[in-house]
Amino acid sequence: MNKYQAVIIGFGKAGKTLATTLAKAGWRVAIIEQSKSMYGGTCINIGCIPTKTLVHEAQLHKDFSSAMQRKTDVVKFLRNKNFHNLADMDNIDVIDGRAEFVDSNTILIHQSNGALKIVGEKIFINTGAQTVLPPISGLTTTPGVYDSTGILDLDFLPTHLGILGGGYIGVEFASMFANFGSKVTIFEAAPLFLPREDRDIADAIANILSEQGVDIILNANVNSINRKDDKIQVHMTHGSQDVDILLVASGRKPAIEQLQLQNAGVAVNENGAIIVDKHLHTTVDNIWAMGDVTGGPQFTYISLDDFRIVKDELLGDGKRSTDLRQNIPYSVFMTPPLSRIGMTEEQAVASGAEIEIATLPVAAIPRARVMNDTRGILKVIVDRKTRYILGASLLCIESHEIINIIKIVMDAKLPFTVLRDQIFTHPSMSESLNDLFSLIK
C-alpha cells in the first residue's frame, strides 16, 4: 500500500498550490482527481477562465463559434500546464480516480481498471462544488437543459436562451449570450432582482440587461419543464414561455456526496458543507478542507487564501487564519462588470453608523467616454465620524480592477481622503475615485 505524507483530494486552486509547495519542502504528496478534464480545478476548466474568455470575446463582437474555439484553446492550454506543473515533480503522484474514505488515514480510489488504496499521514479535501438542481418536474429528463458546465460546450448560438435563476451566475451568462446576439429570458423565483445589492444598483443592472435584450421575470415559480417540437416549454404558476435551450443557474453546493466522509468521522453542517475551524481543520485532527467544499465564498482567491492558512500551519508559524480575512471583494462579469466590497447602504444603516453616501454616474468619467461605454454608476458609503470606507458598489467598465484599490485602503484602515487626493494616471478609470470621494464632505 502506498503511503504519503500528504494526500490531497481534488485538483483545485488550494490543493494544487499546496501540493507543489509541500513537494518543494521535501514531502511525498499524492493528489487525486476523478476527471482528467478537471486538472487545475473548477476555475480553469468550467468556471472563471472559460466564462470570462467568452465574456471578452462577446464584448469584441466575435462570432459564437470562434469564441467557443478560443475558449477551448485557452482551457486546454491551462489544463495541460497545470497537470505538468504537478505531474513532472519527483515528489508528487497525480492519481486519476474517484476517492472515498475508508478511515481517517486510508483512501480508496476507484479507477477504470480497478481500485487502489493509499494511506495519508495528513489529508486535504479540495473537491469544490457542484450545480444545485431544484426539484422541478422534467428538469433532469428534458433534452436541451444545461447547467453552467454543460453550456460551455454548446456548439450553436441559441436564438432564445432561458435561464433558471437570476443570481450572479445567471446574470453573467445572460449578459454574455445577449452580447453574442441571443434573446435571453431570466426566470427568477424571488420577488426582488439581486436582493443582496442596493436597489439603485440592482435597478441599474436590470436596465443595462434590458438594453442588451434580456427579459427578467420575477416571481417566476417554475413548476415543470417539457420539450415540444424543437422548443423547451417553461411552465410557471402564472403562464408559460418557450425557449430554445434552458440554463439552470440556481446555485452550487459542496461536492461531498461520494467521499464517504462518515467513514473518517468528518462532520458536515446542515447545508452539506464540511465543518472547519479557523485553521481549516475538520472535526478530525489530521484532515483539512479547503475551497468551496467548506461552504464559504466560492471564489478562487478564497481558495488561494485557504492554501496560505494551511501552508502557514505546516511550514510556518501558524498565525494565519480565517479570522484575518476582511473586506472580501467580488465581481460579476456582466458587461459592464459589477464589483462590490463591504457593506451595502442597507447594511450600513442597520449597523448604526453615521454614514454619508456618494454616487457618480459613469457618464461623468472621461476614460469611460474614451472607451465608449458610459453605462453604470459608482457608489461608496463612508463612516462620517471615522472617515473610513464602509462599502463600495462599482458598476462600470474595469470595475474589477478598481475595487482592489478600494480594498487596500479599507484593509489598511486609511481614511477615504487617501483616494480623494491620490495622484492617478489620466485618462484612467481609477482616477474616477478622485471625483467620487470629492462628493463627500
User: Cα dist. 21→139, 308, 329 in Å?
Assistant: 43, 10, 26
State the Cα angle at 129 between 127 and 132, rounded to 5°: 145
Distance (Å, whole) CA 349 – CA 9: 43
Contact 416, 380 (CB under 8 A): yes
Closest CA to 402 of 422, 382, 372: 422
Quick count: other Cβ atoms within 10 Å of Cβ 426?
10
Question: CB under 8 Å to 292, separation ≥6 — which residues?
Answer: 12, 42, 128, 129, 252, 254, 255, 298, 303
Closest CA to 314 of 101, 6, 8, 11: 6
Q: Pull the grid cell for residue 338.
A: 459589477
Catalytic site positions: 426
Contact 424, 431 (CB under 8 A): yes
H helices present in 33-154, as ranges: 42-45, 48-59, 64-87
Distance (Å, whole) CA 175 – CA 182: 10
